[in-house]
C-alpha cells in the first residue's frame, strides 16, 4: 500500500475542499453560541487562498495520501511577530483526517512533518486554536504536547 505526505497542489484541490468541508460541517454541528457558523462557501475559499500562497514560504499546505486517496490535511501559515523574541510562528489553521480514517496515525505523520519543516525554517513555536466544544480535538492536541496558552473570549452583543 503506497502512503506518502504531499504538498497540496491544484491536482488535489477538490479532495482538499471536501476534507475542509467535512471539518466545517463538524464545527457547525457543535452546540456553540448560536452566532458562530461557518459559511457554506468557506471551504472552497480557504483552499483556494492557500493554493495561491503555495510556494511563497508563507504557508504549509500538506496532505497524507493513502494509495491515491487524500485522507488527512494540515493547513498552516506563518505569522510574523517582530515584537516578540520568537519573531515568527507557524500557525495551524486547520487539521483534519477523514472520519473513516481516524486513529491510524495519519495526522501524527503530518504533525511530525510540520515540526521538521518549521525547525528547518527556524520557527520556535507552533500554535493553533481549537473550539473547546470540539472535545476530541482538544484532547488530541493535549496528547500531542500542545499546551493551552491563550484564552480567547467571545461575547454576543
| 100 found inside a domain | yes
Task: Tell whether 154 is covered by a domain.
Answer: no
With respect to residue 122, please indicate whether it lies within any of the assigned structural domains.
yes
User: What per-residue confidence (pLDDT) applies to 52?
Assistant: 97
Q: Could you tell me if residue 53 is inside a domain?
A: yes
Percent of the chain scored above 70 by pLDDT?
Answer: 100
Does residue 36 lie in a domain region? Answer: yes
Mind listing the pLDDT tens digit for each residue in 45-67?
999 999 999 989 899 999 999 99
Neighbours of 23 (CB within 10 A): 20
CATH number at residue 119: 3.40.630.30
69 within domain boundaries:
yes
Farthest CA pair distance, the chain:
53
Q: Are strands 87-97 and 3-7 parallel, antiparallel or unpaired?
A: unpaired
Residue 73: is its pLDDT beyond 90? yes
Question: pTM for this structure?
Answer: 0.94
Name the residue range of residue 96's domain.
3-128
Tell whether the model's pLDDT for residue 1 goes beyond 90.
no
* C-alpha cell belonging to residue 129: 486554536
CA atoms lying within 13 Å on the CB side of residue 94: 24
Predicted pLDDT of residue 137: 96
> Nine-digit cell at 45?
475559499
Structural domain includes residue 144: no
Q: What total number of domains does the chain contain?
A: 1
**Cβ proximity of 107 and 115 under 8 Å:** no
**pLDDT tens digit sequence for 78-92:** 999 999 998 999 999
Question: 48 in a domain, yes or no?
Answer: yes
Amino acid at each position: 500500500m503506497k502512503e506518502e505526505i504531499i504538498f497540496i497542489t491544484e491536482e488535489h484541490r477538490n479532495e482538499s475542499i471536501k476534507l475542509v468541508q467535512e471539518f466545517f460541517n463538524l464545527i457547525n454541528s457543535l452546540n456553540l453560541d448560536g452566532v458562530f457558523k461557518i459559511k457554506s462557501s468557506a471551504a472552497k475559499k480557504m483552499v483556494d487562498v492557500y493554493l495561491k500562497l503555495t510556494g511563497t514560504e508563507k504557508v504549509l499546505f500538506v496532505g497524507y495520501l493513502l494509495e491515491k486517496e487524500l485522507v488527512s490535511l494540515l493547513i498552516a501559515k506563518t505569522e510574523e511577530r517582530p515584537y516578540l523574541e520568537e519573531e515568527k510562528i507557524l500557525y495551524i489553521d486547520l487539521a483534519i483526517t477523514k472520519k473513516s480514517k481516524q486513529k491510524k496515525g495519519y495526522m501524527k505523520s503530518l504533525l511530525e512533518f510540520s515540526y521538521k519543516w518549521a525547525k528547518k525554517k527556524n520557527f520556535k513555536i507552533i500554535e493553533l486554536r481549537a473550539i473547546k466544544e470540539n472535545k476530541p480535538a482538544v484532547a488530541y492536541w493535549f496528547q500531542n504536547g500542545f499546551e493551552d496558552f491563550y484564552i480567547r473570549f467571545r461575547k454576543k452583543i
